[in-house]
Amino acid sequence: MHKKAVNTFSEPQCGIPANPANPSQTTLPTPFTHTAPRRDRKQPGDDPNFTSILDNPPEIMRAGRRHGPGLIILALIPFTALVLGTWQVQRLGWKTDLIARFEDRLVKTPLPLPPRVDPDAIHDFDFRRVVARGRYRHDREMLVGPRMHDGEDGFMVITPLERDPGGSDGRGVTTVLVNRGWVSKKLRRQRDRPESLLTGEVVVEGLLREPWKKNMFTPDNRPDKGEFYFPDVKQMAELSGSQAVWIEQTMEPDLLQALEMGSKGIPIGRPAEVNLRNNHAQYIFTWYGLAIATSIMFYMVVKKPPTDMSRRIRMNKEWS
Mean pLDDT, range 236-248, rounded to an integer: 93
Alpha carbons 204 and 200: distance in angstroms, whole number: 13
Q: Is residue 169 part of a domain?
A: yes
Domain co-membership, 222 together with 203: yes
Q: What is the CATH number of the domain that holds 161?
A: 2.40.50
Domain co-membership, 90 together with 154: no
Provide the pLDDT confidence category of residue 320 given band limits of 50, 70 and 90. Answer: very low
Higher-confidence residue of 190 and 48: namely 190
Q: Is residue 25 part of a domain?
A: no
Q: How many CB atoms lie within 10 A of CB 277?
A: 7
Domain co-membership, 193 together with 238: yes
- Of 198, 193, 199, 197, the residue nearest 263 (C-alpha): 193
Domain co-membership, 302 together with 243: no
Alpha carbons 134 and 162: distance in angstroms, whole number: 5
pLDDT at position 39, please?
A: 60
Mean pLDDT, range 155-163, rounded to an integer: 95
DSSP state of 20: S
What phi and psi, each to the nearest 5 degrees, are found at residue 313?
-115, 135
pLDDT at position 45, please?
A: 64
Cβ–Cβ under 8 Å, residues 106 and 274? yes
Q: Is residue 248 part of a domain?
A: yes
pLDDT of 13 above 70: no
Provide the pLDDT confidence category of residue 184 given band limits of 50, 70 and 90. Answer: very high
Q: How many domains does the chain have?
A: 2
Domain co-membership, 227 together with 158: yes
Cβ–Cβ under 8 Å, residues 113 and 136? no
Alpha carbons 219 and 229: distance in angstroms, whole number: 7
Summarize pLDDT for 102-146 with one digit per residue, the tens: 999 998 999 999 988 888 889 899 999 999 999 999 999 999 989
Cα 213 to the center of its chain, rounded Å: 20
Q: Is residue 206 part of a domain?
A: yes
- Determine the residue type at 30: T
Domain co-membership, 92 together with 135: no
Higher-confidence residue of 173 and 109: namely 109
DSSP state of 215: -
Alpha carbons 119 and 248: distance in angstroms, whole number: 16
Least confident of 37-46, 106-115, 261-270: 37-46
Mean pLDDT, range 258-275, rounded to an integer: 90
For the chain, counts of helices (H) and of strands (E): 4, 9
Domain co-membership, 136 together with 67: no
Domain co-membership, 139 together with 241: yes
Domain co-membership, 233 together with 197: yes
Mean pLDDT, range 270-277, rounded to an integer: 88
Least confident of 7-11, 20-24, 185-189: 7-11
This prediction's pTM: 0.68
Provide the pLDDT confidence category of residue 33 given band limits of 50, 70 and 90. Answer: low
pLDDT at position 80, please?
A: 93
Q: Domain range holding 184?
A: 128-264
Higher-confidence residue of 8 and 293: namely 293
Cβ–Cβ under 8 Å, residues 165 and 115? yes
pLDDT at position 255, please?
A: 86
Domain co-membership, 247 together with 319: no
Query: How many residues would you count in the chain?
Result: 320
pLDDT of 93 above 80: yes
Domain co-membership, 280 together with 234: no
Helix (H) or strand (E) holding 143: strand 142-149
Q: Is residue 150 part of a domain?
A: yes
Domain co-membership, 78 together with 160: no
- Of 131, 258, 245, 266, the residue nearest 198 (C-alpha): 266
Q: Is residue 197 part of a domain?
A: yes
pLDDT of 211 above 80: yes
Alpha carbons 259 and 253: distance in angstroms, whole number: 9
Q: In whole angstroms, how far apart are CA 94 and each of 6, 89, 91, 98, 104?
A: 128, 9, 5, 6, 16
pLDDT at position 7, please?
A: 46
pLDDT of 22 above 60: no
Cβ–Cβ under 8 Å, residues 199 and 267? no
pLDDT at position 194, please?
A: 93
The sign of the dihedral angle between the CA atoms of 11, 14, 20, 26 is negative
Higher-confidence residue of 281 and 67: namely 281
Q: Is residue 40 part of a domain?
A: no
Provide the pLDDT confidence category of residue 202 given band limits of 50, 70 and 90. Answer: very high
Q: Is residue 51 part of a domain?
A: no
